[in-house]
Structure 1
Amino acid sequence: MKLKNIAFAILIASSSFLGACNNTNSEKSTATETAETNTAPDSASTAQLAYICPMQCEGSASNTPGKCPVCTMDLVKNPDFKGTTVADSTAL
Protein backbone atom coordinates (compact mmCIF):
# COMPACT_ATOMS: atom_id res chain seq x y z
CA MET A 1 0.00 0.00 0.00
CA LYS A 2 2.79 2.41 0.92
CA LEU A 3 4.61 1.61 -2.32
CA LYS A 4 1.47 2.39 -4.34
CA ASN A 5 1.12 5.77 -2.61
CA ILE A 6 4.74 6.65 -3.32
CA ALA A 7 4.41 5.59 -6.95
CA PHE A 8 1.23 7.64 -7.29
CA ALA A 9 2.93 10.71 -5.76
CA ILE A 10 5.86 10.38 -8.16
CA LEU A 11 3.48 10.06 -11.09
CA ILE A 12 1.55 13.20 -10.08
CA ALA A 13 4.75 15.20 -9.46
CA SER A 14 6.33 14.23 -12.77
CA SER A 15 3.18 14.97 -14.75
CA SER A 16 2.89 18.40 -13.17
CA PHE A 17 6.50 19.20 -14.07
CA LEU A 18 6.01 18.02 -17.64
CA GLY A 19 2.72 19.88 -17.93
CA ALA A 20 4.33 23.12 -16.82
CA CYS A 21 6.85 22.92 -19.68
CA ASN A 22 4.21 22.74 -22.39
CA ASN A 23 2.73 25.98 -23.70
CA THR A 24 -0.91 26.17 -24.59
CA ASN A 25 -2.17 28.04 -27.62
CA SER A 26 -3.46 30.90 -25.49
CA GLU A 27 -0.02 31.34 -23.88
CA LYS A 28 1.65 31.33 -27.28
CA SER A 29 -0.77 33.88 -28.69
CA THR A 30 -0.28 36.13 -25.67
CA ALA A 31 3.50 35.93 -26.07
CA THR A 32 3.17 36.70 -29.78
CA GLU A 33 0.91 39.68 -29.13
CA THR A 34 3.33 41.03 -26.53
CA ALA A 35 6.26 40.64 -28.91
CA GLU A 36 4.38 42.39 -31.69
CA THR A 37 3.27 45.32 -29.56
CA ASN A 38 6.67 45.64 -27.91
CA THR A 39 9.22 47.86 -29.61
CA ALA A 40 11.91 45.32 -28.82
CA PRO A 41 14.54 45.06 -31.54
CA ASP A 42 14.89 42.00 -33.70
CA SER A 43 18.18 40.12 -33.98
CA ALA A 44 19.21 42.07 -37.11
CA SER A 45 19.11 45.40 -35.28
CA THR A 46 20.71 44.10 -32.07
CA ALA A 47 24.09 45.33 -33.33
CA GLN A 48 22.69 48.87 -33.01
CA LEU A 49 22.20 48.46 -29.25
CA ALA A 50 25.00 48.79 -26.70
CA TYR A 51 24.03 46.04 -24.24
CA ILE A 52 22.86 42.48 -24.86
CA CYS A 53 21.93 39.49 -22.73
CA PRO A 54 24.71 36.89 -22.48
CA MET A 55 22.02 34.20 -22.97
CA GLN A 56 20.83 36.00 -26.14
CA CYS A 57 17.24 36.22 -24.94
CA GLU A 58 14.93 37.66 -27.58
CA GLY A 59 14.01 41.29 -27.04
CA SER A 60 16.49 41.89 -24.23
CA ALA A 61 18.98 44.25 -25.94
CA SER A 62 19.18 47.81 -24.65
CA ASN A 63 21.14 51.06 -24.94
CA THR A 64 21.48 51.27 -21.16
CA PRO A 65 22.99 48.78 -18.72
CA GLY A 66 20.60 46.75 -16.62
CA LYS A 67 19.08 43.30 -16.33
CA CYS A 68 17.53 41.08 -18.97
CA PRO A 69 13.72 41.16 -18.65
CA VAL A 70 13.54 37.48 -19.62
CA CYS A 71 16.25 35.72 -17.54
CA THR A 72 17.25 38.60 -15.18
CA MET A 73 20.97 38.25 -15.95
CA ASP A 74 23.05 41.43 -16.12
CA LEU A 75 23.30 42.81 -19.64
CA VAL A 76 26.84 42.90 -21.07
CA LYS A 77 28.44 45.25 -23.59
CA ASN A 78 27.65 44.33 -27.18
CA PRO A 79 30.90 43.63 -29.08
CA ASP A 80 29.17 44.46 -32.39
CA PHE A 81 27.98 47.89 -31.22
CA LYS A 82 29.51 50.83 -33.11
CA GLY A 83 28.74 54.03 -31.22
CA THR A 84 28.70 55.64 -27.82
CA THR A 85 26.55 54.64 -24.89
CA VAL A 86 25.04 56.64 -22.07
CA ALA A 87 27.66 55.18 -19.70
CA ASP A 88 30.52 56.13 -22.08
CA SER A 89 29.35 59.72 -22.43
CA THR A 90 29.01 60.24 -18.66
CA ALA A 91 32.52 58.89 -18.00
CA LEU A 92 34.12 61.97 -19.57
Structure 2
Amino acid sequence: MNFKKIALGLALVSSGYLSACNKPATEENTTATEAAETSTPSTAADSASTAQFAYICPMKCEGSASHEPGKCPVCSMDLVKNPDFKGTASDSTAL
Protein backbone atom coordinates (compact mmCIF):
# COMPACT_ATOMS: atom_id res chain seq x y z
CA MET A 1 0.00 0.00 0.00
CA ASN A 2 2.84 2.40 0.83
CA PHE A 3 4.50 1.70 -2.50
CA LYS A 4 1.30 2.68 -4.35
CA LYS A 5 1.06 6.00 -2.47
CA ILE A 6 4.70 6.81 -3.18
CA ALA A 7 4.32 5.90 -6.86
CA LEU A 8 1.15 8.01 -7.14
CA GLY A 9 2.86 10.96 -5.44
CA LEU A 10 5.86 10.75 -7.76
CA ALA A 11 3.58 10.53 -10.78
CA LEU A 12 1.68 13.65 -9.69
CA VAL A 13 4.86 15.60 -9.01
CA SER A 14 6.35 14.53 -12.32
CA SER A 15 3.26 15.47 -14.30
CA GLY A 16 3.12 18.86 -12.57
CA TYR A 17 6.78 19.48 -13.35
CA LEU A 18 6.41 18.47 -16.98
CA SER A 19 3.28 20.55 -17.53
CA ALA A 20 5.03 23.61 -16.12
CA CYS A 21 7.84 23.16 -18.65
CA ASN A 22 5.56 23.15 -21.70
CA LYS A 23 5.94 26.88 -22.37
CA PRO A 24 6.92 27.32 -26.04
CA ALA A 25 10.38 28.76 -26.67
CA THR A 26 8.97 31.53 -28.87
CA GLU A 27 7.09 33.04 -25.93
CA GLU A 28 10.28 33.11 -23.86
CA ASN A 29 12.18 34.79 -26.69
CA THR A 30 9.44 37.36 -27.21
CA THR A 31 9.40 38.22 -23.52
CA ALA A 32 13.18 38.60 -23.41
CA THR A 33 13.16 40.77 -26.54
CA GLU A 34 10.42 43.02 -25.17
CA ALA A 35 12.32 43.44 -21.89
CA ALA A 36 15.50 44.39 -23.76
CA GLU A 37 13.64 46.91 -25.91
CA THR A 38 12.03 48.61 -22.94
CA SER A 39 15.29 48.86 -20.99
CA THR A 40 17.29 50.45 -23.82
CA PRO A 41 15.42 53.79 -23.98
CA SER A 42 15.60 54.28 -20.22
CA THR A 43 19.36 53.66 -20.29
CA ALA A 44 19.76 56.27 -23.00
CA ALA A 45 17.60 58.70 -21.04
CA ASP A 46 19.63 58.06 -17.88
CA SER A 47 22.95 58.76 -19.59
CA ALA A 48 21.52 61.92 -21.17
CA SER A 49 20.23 63.20 -17.84
CA THR A 50 23.44 62.39 -15.93
CA ALA A 51 25.68 63.93 -18.65
CA GLN A 52 24.89 67.34 -17.17
CA PHE A 53 26.34 66.40 -13.76
CA ALA A 54 30.05 66.29 -12.88
CA TYR A 55 29.75 63.39 -10.42
CA ILE A 56 27.66 60.23 -10.62
CA CYS A 57 27.16 57.08 -8.57
CA PRO A 58 29.11 54.09 -9.91
CA MET A 59 25.98 51.97 -9.34
CA LYS A 60 23.93 54.49 -11.38
CA CYS A 61 21.37 54.99 -8.61
CA GLU A 62 18.48 57.19 -9.64
CA GLY A 63 18.73 60.76 -8.37
CA SER A 64 22.31 60.45 -7.15
CA ALA A 65 24.11 62.70 -9.67
CA SER A 66 25.69 65.88 -8.33
CA HIS A 67 27.90 68.80 -9.28
CA GLU A 68 30.06 68.25 -6.20
CA PRO A 69 31.86 65.14 -4.88
CA GLY A 70 30.19 63.29 -2.05
CA LYS A 71 28.25 60.13 -1.30
CA CYS A 72 25.28 58.64 -3.09
CA PRO A 73 22.11 59.23 -1.03
CA VAL A 74 20.75 55.84 -2.12
CA CYS A 75 23.64 53.37 -1.68
CA SER A 76 26.19 55.54 0.21
CA MET A 77 29.01 54.85 -2.28
CA ASP A 78 31.44 57.64 -3.14
CA LEU A 79 30.42 59.56 -6.25
CA VAL A 80 32.92 59.35 -9.12
CA LYS A 81 33.74 61.82 -11.90
CA ASN A 82 31.34 61.55 -14.81
CA PRO A 83 33.20 60.74 -18.04
CA ASP A 84 30.25 62.08 -20.10
CA PHE A 85 30.23 65.47 -18.34
CA LYS A 86 31.00 68.37 -20.65
CA GLY A 87 31.58 71.30 -18.32
CA THR A 88 31.52 74.93 -19.33
CA ALA A 89 34.64 77.08 -19.66
CA SER A 90 34.08 78.48 -16.17
CA ASP A 91 34.05 74.93 -14.75
CA SER A 92 37.45 74.09 -16.22
CA THR A 93 39.08 77.24 -14.81
CA ALA A 94 37.76 76.48 -11.32
CA LEU A 95 39.72 73.23 -11.26
TM-score with structure 2 setting the length: 0.44
Largest Rg, 1 or 2: 2
TM-score with structure 1 setting the length: 0.46
Query: Which of the pair is proportionally richer in helix?
Result: 2
